[in-house]
Amino acid sequence: MSTVLLLIHVMIAVALVGVVLLQRSEGGALGIGGGGGGGFMTGRSAGNALTKTTAVLAAGFFVTSLALSILAARQQPAPSILPSGGGLAPLQIPGAPAPASPQAPPAPAAPQVPQSQ
C-alpha cells in the first residue's frame, strides 16, 4: 500500500513541477519571462486551466504527504543502530596502539647574538 501511495506521490510531484514551470511569469524580476508573444499557452483560459490544475495537484500532494506520514507512523519502528546505553561508542581502530599521553613541547632555544670584532 505504501509503495503504491509513494509512486502516486512522486508522479504528482513531477506533474506539479511541470505545471508550475508552464505558467507565465508575472513579475519578470530578472528581466526574463513576463510576456512576449508566441507562447502556445497564452490567453486567459489557459491561465485559468493551469491555475486550477496547480491547485488540484497541490491538494493531491498534501493529501498523499499526510497519508504517507500516517502510514509511516503506524508501521513498526526500525531497530536503532545505536547501542542500548543511548550514547555513541568511542571509535576504535583495530590493530592500532593506544594513544600516548601528550608530551610538553621542547623549550625554545636562546637567540644567538653575533659577536663584534
> What confidence tens digit (pLDDT) does each residue in 73-92 have?
888 776 767 666 666 666 77
Classify residue 88: in a domain, yes or no. no
Contacts of 89 (CB under 8 A, 6+ apart): 83
Nearest Cα to Cα of residue 47 among 72, 66, 71, 19: 19
Classify residue 85: in a domain, yes or no. no
Report the C-alpha gap between 41 and 38 in whole angstroms: 9
Reported pTM: 0.53
Classify residue 18: in a domain, yes or no. yes
Per-residue pLDDT at 14: 97
Classify residue 94: in a domain, yes or no. no
Classify residue 19: in a domain, yes or no. yes
pLDDT over 80 at 34, yes or no:
no
Classify residue 83: in a domain, yes or no. no
Per-residue pLDDT at 96: 72
Cell numbers placing 34: 513576463
Per-residue pLDDT at 42: 53
Domain that holds residue 16: 2-26+45-74
Classify residue 13: in a domain, yes or no. yes
Query: How confident is residue 106, by pLDDT bands cut at 50, 70 and 90?
Result: confident
Per-residue pLDDT at 25: 73
What region does 28 belong to: left with phi over 0, alpha with psi -120 to 50, or beta? left
User: Per the structure, how many domains does the chain have?
Assistant: 1
